[in-house]
């Protein structure tokens, strides 16, 4: 384990699996309420980190481009306790009318 920790020290964390759809929805609602306080549905507050802001459209190969948190964007969230990651559509589309 220590050997792996050392190799990961300057790389992004490696997710252990996805969140469920229901958990992703909880994360999305919490993020929209307060982006700085997003609790993990399983592990509670203080574990979720926003890894990056990415384009809402992920290309067919699964690669996401990093973008600015303006307009429509997605946030890549990562839980440091259950080691899961999810991308949520965080930017609210501008709707008029």
- Which DSSP letter does residue 66 get? B
Whose Cβ is closer to Zn ion: residue 19's or residue 91's?
19
Please answer whether residues 56 and 72 qualify as being in contact, where contact means their C-beta atoms are separated by less than 8 angstroms: yes
Choose the stretch contacting Zn ion; rule: CB under 5 A; options: 26-34, 38-46, 52-60, 62-70: 38-46
40 versus 90: smaller Cβ distance to Zn ion: 40
Per CB under 5 A, the list member of 40, 74, 77, 85 interacting with Zn ion is 40
The DSSP code for 84 is E
Q: Contacting Zn ion (CB under 5 A), which of 77, 79, 85, 86?
A: 79
**Could you tell me if 23 and 42 are in contact, meaning their C-beta atoms sit under 8 angstroms apart?**
yes
Residues forming beta bridges with residue 44, ordered by sequence position: 40
């Amino acid at each position: 384990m220590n050997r792996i920790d050392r190799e990961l020290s300057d790389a992004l964390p490696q997710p252990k699996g996805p969140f469920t759809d229901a958990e992703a929805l909880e994360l999305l609602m919490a993020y929209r309420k307060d982006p700085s306080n997003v609790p993990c549905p399983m592990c509670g507050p203080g574990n979720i980190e926003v890894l990056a802001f990415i384009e809402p459209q992920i290309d067919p190969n699964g690669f996401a481009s990093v973008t600015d948190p303006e307009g429509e964007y997605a946030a890549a969230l990562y839980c440091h306790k259950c080691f899961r990651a999810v991308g949520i559509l965080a930017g609210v589309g501008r709707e008029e009318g």
